[in-house]
Amino acid sequence: MRSYVETAEPAGSRTISRRFGLGVSPATIRNTMADLEEKGFLFHPHTSAGRIPTEKAYRVYVDALIRVEPLAAVERERLAEDISAGGSAIETILRRAAQSLGVLTQELGLALGPRLDQTILQKLELVRLTSAKLILVLTLRGGTVRTIFIEISGEIADDAIAEVQQVLNERLAGHSLAEIRATLGSRLRDATGLGGATELLNIFLQEGEQLFDVGTAAEDQAVVLGQASVLAEKPEFASGESMKRLLTLTETRTQLAAVLRDRASTPGVSITIGDEHGSALLGGFTLVTAEYKAGSLAGVIGVIGPTRMPYEKVISLVTHTSSLVTDLLT
């Protein structure tokens, strides 16, 4: 296992004997490897007499054999410095965390932001774009900002826009987006006598459910990735098909978002290997994540890479990073 992870080359009995000093002959090692192959833990690539681990072997290694060591002080300090530098918005912190994890693990760092449905609206702004279009700017707790275009049928005066903005902030700020969608009608029903602002207010009454539905619509945008070029240099992605799957994962992100969201409420480290994902697109990948908290909200931070991965180091780095992110967001 260790030989293949470190070299990406199939290992034969003589290689194992020379590298690890097991105190047994190459013939004994060869017989043991043959037994492991028969049981589905090793297999022969067609071009080599050496053997490489199967996904079944990686699973046994992760579940029963691995010994995760604490991070070295220099790695802890580097992570803390990288992640805490700059702004304090959730998206900024997650982006830095994903990038730092990618550099230290030499895998693709990734993170998933909290589900926005339960995020609290801090304030909103209405900005005129043209005579027939406004921009609704939602600032959410944690620094996330979302913008929505609003079509209007006629000219609305600037003072009417300002008046509606004030009413909306007074009645909606401090509530979650899900709560706003469910109660918008009752919150705005008695907001009458606004003169020229009535038409604009009616748009919110009629279309509010769609206007404030930014939680599910932007799910794939909630996936933050580090540098995919780190994976592109690994031998597993030398073939065109492997590279195509990697690009599809990183460019669309929809399937990746769905897989990560399923793990957002799972405490501790989650590790899925190859076919365990139940997805052809994720076949051949290992995904290692850990939950982080942002107040009452949750997301995940971790890495994705080929199944040939230094699991001890990756698990230690992912676990520590999730704790750092939680500390910064609470």
- Supply the CATH number for residue 18's domain: 1.10.10.10
Euclidean distance between CA atoms 72 and 227, whole angstroms: 24
Same-domain check for residues 110 and 223? yes
What percentage of the chain reaches a pLDDT higher than 90? Answer: 36
Is 32 a residue whose pLDDT tops 70?
Answer: yes
Ranges 4-13, 244-253, 284-293, most confident:
284-293
Instruction: Supply the DSSP string of 279-330, one letter for each residue.
Output: -STTTTEEEEEEEEEETTEEEEEEEEEES---HHHHHHHHHHHHHHHHHHH-
Instruction: Supply the DSSP string of 186-217, one letter for each residue.
Output: HHHTT----GGGHHHHHHHHHHHHHHT--TTT
Q: Which residue range forms the structural domain that includes residue 36?
A: 2-53
H/E segment holding residue 58: helix 55-60
Same-domain check for residues 229 and 184? no
Is 193 a residue whose pLDDT tops 60?
Answer: no
Euclidean distance between CA atoms 130 and 112, whole angstroms: 35
- Has residue 63 been placed in a domain? no
- For 119-151, what is each residue's pLDDT tens digit? 889 999 999 988 888 999 999 887 778 888 888
Q: Which is more confidently placed, 134 or 220? A: 134
Residue that finishes a domain, picked among 211, 235, 267: 211
Same-domain check for residues 88 and 224? yes
* Number of domains the chain contains: 3
H/E segment holding residue 127: strand 121-130
In this prediction, residues 86-103 reach a mean pLDDT of 86
Same-domain check for residues 13 and 94? no
H/E segment holding residue 271: strand 269-273
H/E segment holding residue 145: strand 145-151
pTM above 0.75, yes or no: yes
In this prediction, residues 210-239 reach a mean pLDDT of 79
Q: Which of 87, 163, 99 is nearest to 126 (CA)?
A: 163
pLDDT confidence of residue 47: 61
Question: Cβ distance 83 to 321 under 8 Å?
Answer: yes
Is 20 a residue whose pLDDT tops 80?
Answer: no
Euclidean distance between CA atoms 109 and 100, whole angstroms: 7
Distance of alpha carbon 222 from the chain centroid:
7
Euclidean distance between CA atoms 127 and 116, whole angstroms: 22
In this prediction, residues 301-315 reach a mean pLDDT of 95
**pLDDT confidence tier of residue 319, bands split at 50, 70 and 90:** very high
Same-domain check for residues 139 and 165? yes
* CATH assignment of the domain containing 132: 3.30.390.60
Is 21 a residue whose pLDDT tops 90?
Answer: no
Q: Which of 49, 109, 52 is nearest to 79 (CA)?
A: 109
**pLDDT confidence tier of residue 219, bands split at 50, 70 and 90:** low
Q: Which is more confidently placed, 153 or 95? A: 95
Same-domain check for residues 108 and 239? yes
pLDDT confidence of residue 106: 93
How many residues would you count in the chain?
330
Euclidean distance between CA atoms 25 and 310, whole angstroms: 27
Q: 138 forms bridges with which residues in the sheet?
A: 124, 146
Q: 287 forms bridges with which residues in the sheet?
A: 272, 304
Is 170 a residue whose pLDDT tops 90?
Answer: yes
* CATH assignment of the domain containing 231: 3.30.450.40
Same-domain check for residues 106 and 224? yes
Same-domain check for residues 98 and 130? no
Same-domain check for residues 96 and 187? no
Question: Cβ distance 38 to 54 under 8 Å?
Answer: no
In this prediction, residues 17-31 reach a mean pLDDT of 82
Q: Could you give the count of Cα atoms lying within 13 Å of 254 in the half-sphere of its Cβ?
A: 4
Quick check: helix, strand or coil at residue 234?
A: coil
